Homo-oligomer: A and B are copies of this chain.
Amino acid sequence: MRYEDFVDTAYQPGKDELICDFYVESTMPIKKAAGGIAAESSIGTWTELTTVKDYMRKLAATVFYIKKSGEGYRVKISYPPELFEAGSMPNILSSIAGNIFGLKELVNLRLNDIHFPRKLARSFPGPKYGIPGVRRILGVRKRPLIGTIVKPKLGLRTKDHAEVAYKAWVGGCDIVKDDENLGSQKFNPFRKRFLETIKKRDKAESETGERKMYMVNVTCETEEMKRRAKFVADNGGEYVMVDILTVGWAALQTLRDLDLGLVLHAHRAGHAALTKNPKHGISMKVIARVTRLIGLDQLHVGTVVGKMFEGKKDVLENCAALKEDFYGIKKVFPVASGGLHPLSVPELVKIFGTDVIIQSGGGIHGHPMGTVAGAKAMRQALDAVLSGMSLKEYAKTHEELRVAIERFGR
């Protein structure tokens, strides 16, 4: 079969087929280029083979849609589900998001979306908790959750790390997390950090009467990651966080399969090497769908108003991938994180609604009165928004918010 033989724009994909939505720019005619993508991800290659068997022809992927889009084309391809190993995300991605990016004639190629058919989707567990489960554990019914990242991201010694976490909790944070590159460095080793910080969590819980969560970072090689996650589960933790891109899909499935009863928080460090260029790579929406199938409970999706690059349209699409109906698979809590502070809160609630975890690092620990006041200011900003008041009005009777507005209102 030649590349062009994989194109049939009259084809109607079956309900059980996986569909990919690509943006393609090529030096080849588009029919050949699009057919090449379908071929290289199913039963074809660059040349005619003597080893093709008749029984396999039904496994060919089919280009069923080609339309001019900007400088290139939008191309949709349908893949018979038999092409994939059910329940194996590395296998699926090696097929539909593998070699094709490297083909010489494809100047730009971006995988913008994947439609997973029911049976293939349900071969993955999905989140254990998702939005309702996380809300149940925290005892917070409706409002957005407020989180912080211990800052500076690296360098604090364990005692100081735990102290910063404690202050954030007593100030009003629901969740405190490690930053993405805190593993088990000598200045703050994993086990000691977890134990000292969780002690402070208990203290903060008893002092505030609120549930408080610590998301410790278990990002590392798989066996050690498993040991660390078990250590957390065995010592009173309810959460772990993991860097999904640098750990990778195989280890992520392993962590979910461990099923330790922990809530799994997905940090996406490094995603933008793949997702940022609108013409090449893989969209964050795809990464969101993949993360939901594998079964993490929370995922960073951009901020719109913060230091991350994504605009509102992108962020809303990422959220939809986490929250839309998906064969009964639980909804993932979207996380807004990166450059946020109390003044961001009204806009964030407008964009995300209330099912969002708002994380503020510098916006809390950069408060001139310190971390406790910074966390208070975040909660005050949220209280203002939820009670329909302007921050300015609310700040008249709330000192921490007033100071935050001065500090972050440029």
Contact = CB atoms under 8 A, between A and B. Distances in A.
A11 interface: no
A93 B274 CA distance: 14
Interface residues of A, number: 105
A251 B246 CA distance: 10
Interface stretch (A64-72, A230-238, A359-367): A359-367
A389 interface: no
A82 B90 CA distance: 32
B257 A185 contact: no
- The copy count of this chain in the complex is 2
Nearest to A50: B370
A219 B185 contact: no
Contact of A47 (B185, B253, B366): B366
Contacts of A251: 222, 248, 250-251, 254
A312 interface: no
Contacts of A276: 101-102, 280
Nearest to A308: B102
A327 interface: no
Contacts of A82: 185-187
Nearest to A219: B90
Nearest to A184: B85
A368 B98 contact: no
Contact of A56 (B45, B152, B180): B152
23 contacts: A42-B154, A43-B152, A43-B154, A45-B361, A47-B341, A49-B151, A50-B366, A50-B368, A51-B160, A55-B157, A56-B154, A82-B186, A87-B221, A90-B183, A90-B220, A94-B243, A98-B246, A99-B269, A103-B307, A223-B254, A225-B250, A248-B248, A273-B282
**Closest 9 interchain pairs by CB?**
A248-B248, A56-B155, A98-B269, A101-B272, A250-B251, A102-B272, A85-B183, A91-B183, A95-B181
